[in-house]
Every structure is written in C-alpha cells, then in structure tokens.
Amino acid sequence: MVEENFPGVYIVGGKIATKNLVPGYRVYGEKIVIEGNVEYRIWDLHRSKLAAAMHKGLKEMHIKPGSAVLYLGAASGTTASHISDIVGMDGIVYCVEFAQRSMRDLLAVCERHENMMPIMGDARQPQQYAEGIGEVDIIYQDVAQPDQDDIFIKNSQMFLKKGGWGMICIKSQSIDVSREPKKIFEEFVAKVGSEMEVHDQIDLTPYDLEHLFITGKRK
Ligand SMILES: C[S@@+](CC[C@H](N)C(=O)[O-])C[C@H]1O[C@@H](n2cnc3c(N)ncnc32)[C@H](O)[C@@H]1O
C-alpha cells in the first residue's frame, strides 16, 4: 500500500520512500519496491538524517516538487539523491562537497540524476560557487564542522530567498565534545535565530546520536 506523506514523499509498506527518478538505478544499495508500475526507493533511516527527522515527527517538509535546493555537505549523495527524487526534473539540487573521495562517488550519482549539480567547493567560502547559483528555496546543511552556524549564515545571506527555508543537521560533537549537547544546541538555535525563525527541532536519537535537526524560515 502507498500513501503520500508529504508532496513527493511516500509511505510504502510502512516505510518512507521516494519515487525513483532513474528507474532501475540504486544509489547506496537501498531497497527498491514496485507498486502499480511505479518504482520507489526505500529511504534508510540509519543512512539519512532527513529520513530520521521525518520518522521522528518533522511537521513541515519544505522540499517539494520543483524546489531549488542548495545542499551543503552532500557527501556521496545518499540523502541528496532522495531530495532529487522529490524535487523532480522541474527542480534542482546544487550539491556542495569538498572531499575528493566523496566527490568521486557523488559525480557518478549526478551523471544519472540529471537534476543534481555537483559543486567541488568549500561551504565556508560561498563566493567560490556563487556563479551559476541564483536564489534558492531551501538550504539543506549537514557539514559536521565546528563553525556550522557561521557556514549556514554565510550561505543563507548569499543564496536563500526571503521566506525560504533552512534545514540543518547540527552535530554537537563536532562543535565541542566536552560540553553538554543541550547547551550547544541552544546556542546554535539562538545564533541562527538572527537569520531565520526556527520552527521544528528534532532530536535524531537513536538514528544519529547527539544530533539535532532544525528547520527555520528566512527572515
Ligand atoms: C555527515 S557528512 C554528510 C552526509 C550526507 N549529508 C548524507 O546524508 O548523505 C558531512 C559531509 O560534509 C562535508 N563537508 C564538511 N565540511 C565541508 C565544507 N566546509 N565544505 C564542503 N563540504 C564539507 C564532508 O566532507 C562530508 O562529506
């Protein structure tokens, strides 16, 4: 049985899934299910913080068919490929990554998912990749860096349209291993609160320990 959970996000046999933009192609060994001639990719909660956030009660999903998404820290494209399924060929996913090893895998995914644009660059220096990216509807960030807050603010000021949405995975251990995660999350939310009105705040335990997933609307 298939139900639409959010636009472009489905529940297939009780599991979160997206419609495969490239039928027959798997990105990370995910399970494929065919229902009524449509191919769905089951979204692994243990491999993607966005899937875990939805499973744990994300209230609003801002990424929709047709959205332009700037993805900071795309790694090998696991989550980015599901976002690509959701936005479809009327949308685009700009995938910023600075590690060469991950970029090699990401390039293979972008060759098949034609709405994903790979960008080899450092998210701390958005001017490096400003050319070619206009305003975006969403910035999705998962960079696991001590300065995650500054990285988001810089990119938001440069690319996120007013009323657009930030979706951020905050990893407290990358910021400070010696301090209580709760305090780190509070400080992060207060700091990015200057840029955006924070909405959802979801603890990703047990899928990702000491991670908070937040969403917010650009002021
Ligand atoms: C936790 S992984 C991302 C996993 C990915 N979001 C997913 O769900 O499939 C973090 C990634 O961010 C990348 N990264 C960290 N700092 C970065 C920076 N300043 N610029 C670009 N990429 C960065 C790392 O190389 C790594 O691949």
C-beta atoms surrounding 46 within 10 Å: 10
Ligand 1: atom nearest CA of 50 is 8
Domains and CATH numbers, the chain: 44-218 (3.40.50.150)
Q: How far apart are CA 172 and CA 183, in angstroms?
A: 9
Q: How far apart are CA 27 and CA 19, in angstroms?
A: 13
Task: Please indicate whether residue 148, judged by its CB atom, sits closer than 6 Å to ligand 1.
Answer: no
DSSP code, position 154: H
Q: For the segment 50-67, what is each residue's pLDDT rounded down to a tens digit?
A: 999 999 999 999 999 999
* Biggest CA-to-CA distance, the chain: 52
Q: How confident is the model over 138-164, as a mean pLDDT?
A: 97
Ligand 1: atom nearest CA of 123 is 20
pLDDT of residue 132: 86
Q: How far apart are CA 77 and CA 87, in angstroms?
A: 15
Share of the chain above pLDDT 70, in %: 100
Task: Please indicate whether residue 18, judged by its CB atom, sits closer than 6 Å to ligand 1.
Answer: no
Q: For the segment 177-219, what is each residue's pLDDT rounded down to a tens digit?
A: 999 999 999 999 999 999 999 999 999 999 999 999 999 999 9
Task: Tell me the whole-structure pTM to 2 decimals.
Answer: 0.97
17 Cα to the center of ligand 1, angstroms: 23
